[in-house]
Structures are given as C-alpha cells and as structure tokens.
C-alpha cells in the first residue's frame, strides 16, 4: 500500500518546510555522530528565508575510524550517479532489479538527482574513488511541482541519520529553485519517517489516485 504525502505551502514555500524539527541536526549528531571523532562540516540549516544557495557538492560528514583512516560523506546534487553503482545499491537494499537502460533513462529525465558518496583516506594512501551509499531523485514540471522518488541508503549506513539529511538537502535545493509544492509516495512503513521531515499524509483531504494496466 502506498500513501500520498505532500509539502504544499499556500503562500510562502519556505514556511511550511521550515516546520521540520528544530533539532534535525542534533538528531544526526546523536545518531551518526555518536563517536566524538566525527564532525559535521556543513553548517546547520532550518531552511530559513534568505539562505545562500546550496553548493552542488560539499562534505556533509567527516569521521575518523579506529584505524586512523578518515571517511568523508559527500552530498551532491549534480546528477553524477553511475548507473552500475546505482543498480548495485538497489540490490543491496533488496529492491527488484530494473533494466539498466530504464535506470539510465530515469536518471537522465529527472529534474534533480541527489547522491551521497563515501571517500575514505588512510595515513598511508588516499583513495579518491567515490562509493555510492545513498540517492534520491525528483521529477518536476520545472515551475511549481516536484515529486521525490527512489530514496535509498546503503544498509551499512542506515540508522545514522543520512537518509534524513539526504531528503532535507534535496528539499532545500528544490525550494531554492522556487519549487513550492513537493510530493512523494511513501510505503506505509516509512510514513512516520517522512512525517518527521515535515510531510503530511493526505493534506486537506487530497487523495492520491493510481492507474494500473488491466491485463
């Protein structure tokens, strides 16, 4: 079963979304940042009016591991996602396999693709290869509306606040493009996750409707 959810401000697009919990980044610190060797690089944000533009790529989190290596989690919204890496990530989370050609088309035709990559550096060597650990994408009419799809995070990185950070940053990037109506379709078991990010199931009695082929 899928549930329709929407962030749909009536006058100011940014007021509604800024209702996200004030302790959003504190929740990340208490989750992903349990280890005091981990540091948030990007400053805190509550999507307030007048914020500067969000960079297309920046270090979201930096963590020092017990072996001395440093791991950086990088957020990007430039759409540079390798289709083979995405397929491998979908396999990790147990999603049904989709043809590579359709995955590539979905990425190409998306209005925005947000990704999380991991880069790990050790004292002995620096490996600058990016490992895809999360992705979300949005389609849009390029004027008023956007719909978020395919939010996924590597199981090895789940439960650390990264999914929330990914969606929050995607919303912020959409708002900065003056997209004021943001919707998504959520499975019943993750409705609360999106509710905590400011989404409301069936606001004002709006009902999502589906058309399926009849074979």
**Cα(80)–Cα(26) distance, integer angstroms:** 29
What are the residues whose beta carbons fall under 8 Å from the beta carbon of 100, sequence distance 6 or more? Answer: 83, 84, 87
Contact call for residues 17 and 192 (beta carbons, < 8 A): no
137, β-bridge pairs: 113, 149
Active site residues: 194
Token output for 144: 């008023």
Angle at 36 between CA 35 and CA 40, to 5 degrees: 95
Q: Are strands 181-187 and 57-64 parallel, antiparallel or unpaired?
A: unpaired
Question: Which H or E run contains 164?
Answer: helix 162-175
**Cα(193)–Cα(203) distance, integer angstroms:** 16
């Amino acid at each position: 079963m899928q549930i329709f959810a929407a962030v749909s401000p009536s006058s100011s697009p940014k007021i509604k979304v800024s209702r996200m919990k004030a302790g959003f980044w504190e929740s990340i610190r208490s989750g992903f940042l349990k280890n005091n060797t981990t540091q948030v690089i990007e400053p805190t944000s509550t999507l307030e009016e007048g914020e500067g533009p969000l960079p297309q790529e920046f270090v979201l989190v930096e963590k020092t591991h017990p072996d001395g290596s440093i791991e950086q989690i990088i957020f990007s919204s430039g759409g540079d996602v390798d289709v083979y890496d995405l397929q491998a990530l979908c396999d990790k989370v147990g999603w049904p396999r989709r043809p590579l050609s359709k995955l590539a088309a979905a990425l190409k035709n998306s209005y925005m693709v947000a990704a999380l990559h991991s880069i790990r550096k050790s004292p002995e060597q620096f490996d600058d290869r990016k490992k895809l650990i999360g992705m979300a994408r949005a389609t849009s009419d390029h004027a008023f509306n956007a719909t978020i799809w395919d939010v996924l995070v590597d199981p090895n990185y789940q439960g650390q606040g990264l999914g929330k950070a990914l969606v929050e940053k995607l919303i912020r990037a959409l708002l900065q493009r003056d997209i004021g109506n943001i919707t998504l379709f959520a499975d019943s078991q993750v409705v609360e996750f999106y509710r905590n990010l400011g989404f409301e199931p069936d606001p004002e009695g709006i009902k999502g409707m589906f058309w399926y082929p009849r074979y």
